[in-house]
Amino acid sequence: MLHVLIGEDDFSLRQTLENIKKGIGDLAALLPNTIVLDGRTVALEQLRNVCETVPFLAEKRLVVVEGLLERFEPSRKNGRIKSFRQADQAEEIKKVIAIAKAVPSFTELVIIGGSVKTANPLLRELSTLTKVASFPLLKPNQLSPWIENRVKQAGGNIAPRAVTALARFVGNDLWTMANEVDKLVVYTAGRRIEEADVKAVVSYAREEKIYEMTDAVIESRSGAAQEALQQLLQQGMAPAYLLASLSLQVRTLFLVREMRASGQSRREIQQKLGRLTDFQMSKAWEQSEKCSPARLRELYHRLLETDVSIKTGKMEGEIALNILVAELGQRGSVPA
């Protein structure tokens, strides 16, 4: 049987793949009969042979091919695909379709693609053979119901304000969201999850306070910066962790500012930086408007000096961090 799974929502896509595995039968018997191929480089004859190989001591064989659809994505070079390349691709697509049509009854063939366009010629052909399961990133109005359902599946209950807070802090990274939901269900031990629980448990909620401190430092609000620092220290955050977080935020701000100056969009920047959630990107975008390159360089150098002072034993971590935040919070922005 042929399955085609595409989309940027990798969490939902992988959940569907797990359901396909469970539907095949005994997972222990399936394990030695599962093979994953890199579709970007696999020879099509190898793919055919793998699909036709009889399973070992089991009824079914699972063949997962990742990256095959991307291999046929339309090229953007000069706005068109060169004719000779089109001919090559057309021939390869015919071979893939022939393999897909001839998949034996004992083989489950799963073709997985990430960010694949509807104009993809292989996708168009495969869609005539089977229903394509698409998993786009959740839209903002879809995220809250997803959170509520995930909490319910985990055996918990969640307040509307807690749902809103989770959506704001984590965004549509469902791998992270699922992990945070599971932590909250365990943390609340049967009672309803409240907004305060989210702020206490979710890592991005605590990170927001670090952003507040960074904001105050950038805007030379010494009192607010020191107040935020004390709250973070009281929550048990280590000075070394806070210093590393500040350094990472300043570095991210510098990159965002540079990429914005080169004309790149917010979405392009987030994709290239990769590790940023919607919440982190939103904060970095806002803060990059407030700080000149000169001020960012000053912040980064002072953070480096403090880190060296702590690591060489010249100053105790909490004292050094307090002095750093106080000094930086008192300074006005350096001219660009």
- Please state whether 159 falls in left (phi above 0), alpha (psi between -120 and 50) or beta: beta
Q: Is the same domain home to 311 and 232?
A: yes
Report pLDDT for 275. Answer: 65
Q: In this structure, what CATH number is given to the domain that contains residue 179?
A: 1.10.8.60
Lookup: tokens for 329: 């919070």
**How many CB atoms are located within 10 Å of the residue 156 CB?**
21
Report pLDDT for 227. Answer: 86
Could you list the residue range(s) of the whole structural domain that residue 299 is in? 204-330
Whether the Cβ atoms of residue 31 and residue 57 lie closer than 8 Å to each other: no
Q: Is the same domain home to 56 and 12?
A: yes
Q: Is the same domain home to 191 and 209?
A: no
First to last CA, the chain: 61
Lookup: tokens for 21: 């595995």
Residue 336, domain member (yes or no): no
Q: Is the same domain home to 10 and 53?
A: yes
Q: In this structure, what CATH number is given to the domain that contains residue 262?
A: 1.20.272.10
Q: In this structure, what CATH number is given to the domain that contains residue 41?
A: 3.40.50.300
Q: Is the same domain home to 217 and 317?
A: yes
Residue 335, domain member (yes or no): no
Residue that is last in its domain, among 134, 163, 180: 134
Residue 48, domain member (yes or no): yes
Distance CA 277, CA 68 (A): 28
Report pLDDT for 205. Answer: 67
Residue that is last in its domain, among 182, 201, 220: 201
* Gyration radius (Cα) of the chain, Å: 26
Q: Is the same domain home to 15 and 58?
A: yes
Whether the Cβ atoms of residue 177 and residue 145 lie closer than 8 Å to each other: no
Distance CA 114, CA 123 (A): 12
Q: Is the same domain home to 212 and 310?
A: yes
Residue 94, domain member (yes or no): yes
Angle at 161 between CA 236 and CA 153, to 5 degrees: 90
Report pLDDT for 85. Answer: 61
Type of residue at 328: L
Return the closest-CA partner of residue 235 out of 200, 194, 211, 280: 200
Distance CA 60, CA 48 (A): 16
In what helix (H) or strand (E) does residue 218 lie, and over which residues does it extend? helix 203-218
Q: Is the same domain home to 211 and 298?
A: yes
Q: Is the same domain home to 170 and 254?
A: no
Q: Is the same domain home to 120 and 6?
A: yes
Report pLDDT for 84. Answer: 43
Distances (CA, A) of 86 to 74, 83, 91, 92, 182: 9, 5, 9, 10, 48
Return the closest-CA partner of residue 169 out of 135, 137, 210: 210
Q: Is the same domain home to 129 and 7?
A: yes
Number of domains making up the chain: 3
Kindly give the confidence (pLDDT) of every residue in the chain, 336 residues in length, as a single tens digit, with 9 standing for 90 and above.
999 999 988 999 999 999 999 888 888 888 888 999 999 899 999 999 999 999 888 889 999 999 999 988 876 554 444 444 666 788 899 999 999 999 999 999 999 998 888 889 999 999 999 999 999 988 888 999 999 999 999 999 999 999 998 888 787 888 889 999 999 999 999 899 999 998 888 876 667 777 788 778 777 788 888 888 887 887 667 888 888 888 888 888 888 888 888 888 888 888 788 767 777 788 788 878 877 788 888 888 888 888 888 888 888 888 888 888 888 777 544 333
Residue that is last in its domain, among 170, 185, 201: 201
Residue 231, domain member (yes or no): yes
Q: Is the same domain home to 180 and 294?
A: no
